[in-house]
Chains A and B, each alone.
Chain A
Amino acid sequence: MKSILKLMQAHIRRGKDAFFGILLLMSLITFSFSGTVSNDDVLRNELEKNFAEENVGDLVIMMYDDNLTEDMLSSLDSNTKVAGYSVKKLMYLKSLPVVDGHEEEVVLNFRRWNEDINIFNDSSDGFTEDNELKQGEILLPYKLKMNKRMKPGAEISFTTSSGRIEKYTVKGFYEDKVFGATTVTDSYCVLPEEDYDRLAAEELDHTDSPRRLLLMAAEIHIYAADGVTAADLSRDLTDGPLIRSANAVSSRQHLMELFEMYSNTGTRGMAVFTLILLTAILITMHNSISASVEMEYTDLGILRALGFSVSRIRLIYVAEYVLALVAGSILGIIVSIPVCAVLIRKWMNITCILTDTGVSLFKCAVMAIAMIFVCIGFIFIATSKVSRISPVRAISGGRREVYFDSRLNSRIRKHPFSLSLVLRQLNTHRRSYAGTAFIVAILVYFLVSITLLTANLDPDKLFSTTKGEINILNTGGLTISNADEIEDAVREMDSGASLYTKSSHRMIVDWEFVSVDSFRRTEDQYDIIDGRQPKFDNEIMLTKNLADDLGKTIGDTVTVTYMDKKDEYIVTGYFQTIFEFGNVSMMTSEGMTKLGYNDIREAQVSLSDTSKKDEITDMLNSRFADRLSASENKESATMLTYKKIVNVLMNSSIYTMYVVILIFAAVVVVMLCRRSFIRERTDIGIFKALGMSAGSLRNQFALRFAAVALIGSVVGGAASAFLARKMIAFMLKIVGLTDIKAAVSPMTFALPAAAVCICFFVFAYIVSGKIKSVDVRELITE
């Protein structure tokens, strides 16, 4: 053992670049995944804790109080699959709130204050001790902090069903443990007990009002009996009135996934990234070990002649590289500690819950150890050529079979002279450079994939909704049936104008409770993957995700149930959307009214003569005041928030990955260059003695690695052209995107390839600086 340690120390001293190179690469990998793993871990732990504290049911049903009956609740009592249930009350606001005099496009709901509510402190890294809420104050969920107007001290007002204006002052932001994620459209605000009770009582007096702006609702938490899953429970209750009358039905798991949506995508991406970097490390190690065996051929022969067995010699390499890998893992995890804290805090902008910010040391260590074991296996494979070293031959200088792994097959020419020498060098050590080219190929593949991913997650495309100059809010009377009347009225003033409407409600499609959308005009509504949009009232289009879940293909029939009506619809095509994680379907307006649903959720007017915008807006407000409220169409605060989140996520992820990959490429090329330089030192000295200038030798050296990078880039680019879409689809399936359709331009491939080639050339040129500084005499010392 002592001899192995001594030899290992000597080996490290001699080949410091390989040791530190592997150390650095391993630290990059562990640094990269520590943040994601830790974020996922702390988030899941916090969610489990929060959901337990809030006693969230296995199934959570939201419905209007008007639709909830005692019989529905009694049916739960007698259901053997139900262990129990609880009901929480809330209020839905059906008008837009006004914040400091400006109408905000945000959906607010109200809960009653309770003593368990946590209010964030000013720096949002903890909670205040004072969580009391006085009359006239309101607490907003943390996700609304991104809205510039909604800050402490701002005044929020809204109109009640009786026509009265209610005003509140924002006290601060609280942690909504169940519905607080930015991925949940509605925002649940907290009102003081007295104000909440007063509004609830007032609402009860106005149930017959034609314009009900505050609706009482119930949040029913159903707990599954032992051995019953949420899916079983949902299927069991599907045909019953409870689910058919619901506004929304979510499982506990689904509610948690709302918090974890983006981090799960990040995890999948990071898994692929880590695998790619690990492959690159394995190849780099192989190259390094091969070069080491080759250069130390004589020394290894001497060791064998002295009695060292092959396995002992291989242990030296294993010990050296394991030490580098372990040290790198520890370094990577240590460096990630402060970065994790920052990352997890940033992630709070999406989850809106307070979590720990520490690194999940155990999980990160386990992952690092698993990777080290894979590397150990690989080191044994890479050192297999040690067994082919003949002691006598090594000592007497015969190393032909080790030194050359190819015959000469590219001519040396005067023009182009440098290039012909470069090609000769590439041919001479083909296997080694092939490994390097492979590393480049996978790095370029990943960079191209990231670029494609960005293009497909363009927020303007993902979150585009119907467009128009005038936005129409349904105040209670806007229906699919009277949409024609409104459009005709608009066309009296602008003959080229069009009314766009969207209706949407959760319905049961076969056995899944999903959002069903319909549009007055269907062009460009969704990204169609296959088939066509529905044209007739018995047709429906599904997302690929939903179709797979239901086990349906184009041409099959699904049953759609809404309240007490159900009908059959033929699947005409697939589309994809990020909304509702892809649990969305689409039918015609006629198909929807057939089921008895006639409401319009949102509407816009698109004008051909925009100068008439104000005039038409006024006309709509005066003529149709009983059913709608018209205003200039501005992108909603929610949509802006979503776009901002996606932009921030995408940009920071991409820049980080580009930087990590280029650092990785730089470390790899420096390691390989140093090895090549040591191996070719004498040849470089000879060329210098023959009259080649240092500059020309450096250019050749750097050009060689740039050529390797170019070959790798071509391979990586070609691989990404065929495989990247599938990989990205796998990563994005979790958020509802199943088909990657973004246009590919030459720049998609050229930019990553150029970045890696330039990186290789630059760093090879830097390492080759030794050519200039080392004396000819020193290079060829006799």
Chain B
Amino acid sequence: MKKTILSAKEVFKSFAHNGKQVHILTGMNVDIYEGDFTVIMGASGSGKSTTLYVLSGMDGATGGSVIYNGEDLTKLSEKKLSVLRYSDFGFVFQQMHLVSNLSLYENIIVPGYLNKKRSASETEKRADELLEKMGISDIRDHLPSQCSGGEQQRCAIARAVINEPKLLFADEPTGALNRKNTSEVLDLLTELNRNGQSILMVTHDLKAACRASRILYIEDGRIIGDLDLAMYDEKDEKSRETQVNAWLTSLEW
């Protein structure tokens, strides 16, 4: 029996545009399980990224609740959400969003220093390990502007996991990358998941979606499809793609 790590109950998200209400999420209900590599897919404008931001507490919900660790994230204060962001959650953005005047190493270590449970030396040691793991150890002192997209995104992933978050959120992490870098980043995420990291990722890329152990399909602000998959094995990539494609086609993707 999988343990629920995050649970959304009748979540609504709307915003006003030109005097009219635009509804993005219309009663979203979903449970995210520990250890899963969950991917959210859907057509453009279906509410994928909004779902991710609401579930991570980055964005507020207009209605409903998002329960994490017994607490409703939609009702938490900004201060408590801040603590959650560095201690329990990690976030990887499509555009990387590394701080431009910090080196790769510093970008990783800054959220690490926010964690009061770890000493500075422990944080620095972990950062060194992550740099090594991500294969960017030799460019650790480079600025983001001096690195390729793939290198930046690997740094962003390292930053997101420096504090060993319970859940890693990723919003189209390969959206701005070329094929080679995409493959490298997906490999890293897959490996992290194999080592126990729970991941919730938004993507429109079939190849990226195939890395998941669970795919959720969103349409009109609601989950209308839920596919469980076995743990990813690159040997089964082709058949996996066929399976996922067929499923998506059935949902008129």
Contact surface of A with B, Cβ cutoff 8 Å: 400, 403-404, 408, 412-415, 417, 421, 424-425, 428, 682-683, 685-695, 772, 775-777, 780, 782
| CA distance in complex: A686, B78 (Å) | 15
Q: Is the CB of A686 within 8 A of B97?
A: yes
| B12 lies within 8 A of chain A by Cβ | no
| CA distance in complex: A421, B110 (Å) | 9
Residues of A within 8 A of B91 (CB): 689-690
B165-194 contacts to A, CB under 8 A, are 171
Q: List 17 A-B contacts (CB under 8 A).
A: A404-B101, A408-B143, A412-B109, A412-B110, A413-B113, A417-B113, A421-B110, A424-B102, A428-B101, A683-B100, A686-B98, A687-B110, A689-B93, A690-B86, A691-B87, A695-B79, A777-B59
Q: Is the CB of B78 within 8 A of A694?
A: yes
| B30 lies within 8 A of chain A by Cβ | no
Q: Is the CB of B101 within 8 A of A424?
A: yes
Q: Is the CB of B95 within 8 A of A777?
A: no
| CA distance in complex: A776, B58 (Å) | 6
| CA distance in complex: A321, B118 (Å) | 51
Residues of A within 8 A of B213 (CB): none
| CA distance in complex: A772, B82 (Å) | 12
Q: Is the CB of B49 within 8 A of A782?
A: yes
| B68 lies within 8 A of chain A by Cβ | no
Q: Is the CB of A691 within 8 A of B82?
A: yes
**Closest partner residue, chain A, to B119 (CB atom):** A414
Q: Is the CB of B85 within 8 A of A689?
A: yes
| CA distance in complex: A693, B98 (Å) | 18
Residues of B within 8 A of A425 (CB): 101
Q: Is the CB of A403 within 8 A of B100?
A: yes
Chain B CB within 10 A, most for which of A403, A689, A777: A689
Nearest chain B CB to A683's CB is how many angstroms away?
Answer: 5
Residues of B within 8 A of A777 (CB): 53, 58-59
B76-127 contacts to A, CB under 8 A, are 78-79, 82-87, 91, 93-95, 97-103, 106, 109-111, 113-114, 119-120, 123
| CA distance in complex: A687, B53 (Å) | 16
Q: A412-B102, A688-B82, A690-B114 are in contact. List 8 more A-B contacts (CB 8 A).
A: A400-B145, A412-B109, A414-B119, A689-B93, A690-B86, A690-B111, A690-B159, A777-B59
Nearest chain B CB to A693's CB is how many angstroms away?
Answer: 4
A415-B120, A776-B58, A780-B93 given; A691·B114 CB < 8 A = yes
Nearest chain A CB to B87's CB is how many angstroms away?
Answer: 7
Nearest chain A CB to B114's CB is how many angstroms away?
Answer: 5
Residues of B within 8 A of A414 (CB): 113, 119-120, 123
**Closest partner residue, chain B, to A688 (CB atom):** B82
Chain B CB within 10 A, most for which of A421, A692, A693: A693
A776-B58, A782-B95 given; A408·B103 CB < 8 A = yes
Residues of A within 8 A of B95 (CB): 782
A414-B120, A775-B59, A780-B93 given; A691·B83 CB < 8 A = yes
Q: Is the CB of B101 within 8 A of A690?
A: no
| CA distance in complex: A417, B111 (Å) | 11
Q: Is the CB of A686 within 8 A of B99?
A: yes
Residues of B within 8 A of A688 (CB): 82, 85
Residues of A within 8 A of B53 (CB): 777
Contact surface of B with A, Cβ cutoff 8 Å: 49, 53, 58-60, 78-79, 82-87, 91, 93-95, 97-103, 106, 109-111, 113-114, 119-120, 123, 141, 143, 145, 159, 171
Q: Which 5 A-B pairs have the closest CB atoms?
A: A691-B86, A691-B85, A414-B120, A693-B82, A428-B101
Q: Is the CB of B97 within 8 A of A682?
A: yes
Residues of B within 8 A of A693 (CB): 78-79, 82-83
Chain A CB within 10 A, most for which of B60, B97, B171: B97
| CA distance in complex: A692, B111 (Å) | 8
Residues of A within 8 A of B59 (CB): 775-777
| CA distance in complex: A652, B121 (Å) | 58
**Closest partner residue, chain B, to A689 (CB atom):** B91
Q: Is the CB of B99 within 8 A of A687?
A: yes
Residues of A within 8 A of B93 (CB): 689, 780, 782
Residues of B within 8 A of A417 (CB): 113-114
**Closest partner residue, chain A, to B160 (CB atom):** A690
| CA distance in complex: A413, B110 (Å) | 9
| CA distance in complex: A558, B3 (Å) | 106
Nearest chain B CB to A629's CB is how many angstroms away?
Answer: 80
Residues of A within 8 A of B113 (CB): 412-414, 417
Nearest chain A CB to B117's CB is how many angstroms away?
Answer: 12
Residues of A within 8 A of B159 (CB): 690
Q: Is the CB of A780 within 8 A of B97?
A: yes
| CA distance in complex: A780, B171 (Å) | 12
| CA distance in complex: A694, B78 (Å) | 8
Nearest chain B CB to A457's CB is how many angstroms away?
Answer: 49
Nearest chain B CB to A8's CB is how many angstroms away?
Answer: 29
Q: Is the CB of A412 within 8 A of B97?
A: no
**CB contact between B99 and one of A404, A683, A691 (< 8 Å): that residue:** A683
| CA distance in complex: A780, B95 (Å) | 9
| CA distance in complex: A417, B109 (Å) | 11
| CA distance in complex: A688, B85 (Å) | 8
| CA distance in complex: A776, B57 (Å) | 9
| CA distance in complex: A413, B124 (Å) | 10
| CA distance in complex: A681, B171 (Å) | 20
| CA distance in complex: A424, B82 (Å) | 22
Residues of B within 8 A of A782 (CB): 49, 93-95, 171
Nearest chain A CB to B156's CB is how many angstroms away?
Answer: 10
Nearest chain B CB to A602's CB is how many angstroms away?
Answer: 72
Nearest chain A CB to B116's CB is how many angstroms away?
Answer: 10
Nearest chain B CB to A257's CB is how many angstroms away?
Answer: 58
Q: Is the CB of B87 within 8 A of A689?
A: no
**Closest partner residue, chain B, to A696 (CB atom):** B82
| CA distance in complex: A176, B229 (Å) | 105
| CA distance in complex: A202, B171 (Å) | 109
| CA distance in complex: A689, B91 (Å) | 8
| CA distance in complex: A345, B109 (Å) | 65
Residues of B within 8 A of A403 (CB): 100, 145
| CA distance in complex: A93, B109 (Å) | 88
A408-B103, A412-B109, A782-B171 given; A689·B58 CB < 8 A = yes
| CA distance in complex: A136, B139 (Å) | 101
| CA distance in complex: A425, B110 (Å) | 14
Residues of B within 8 A of A780 (CB): 93, 97
**Closest partner residue, chain B, to A413 (CB atom):** B120
Nearest chain A CB to B166's CB is how many angstroms away?
Answer: 13
**Closest partner residue, chain B, to A406 (CB atom):** B101
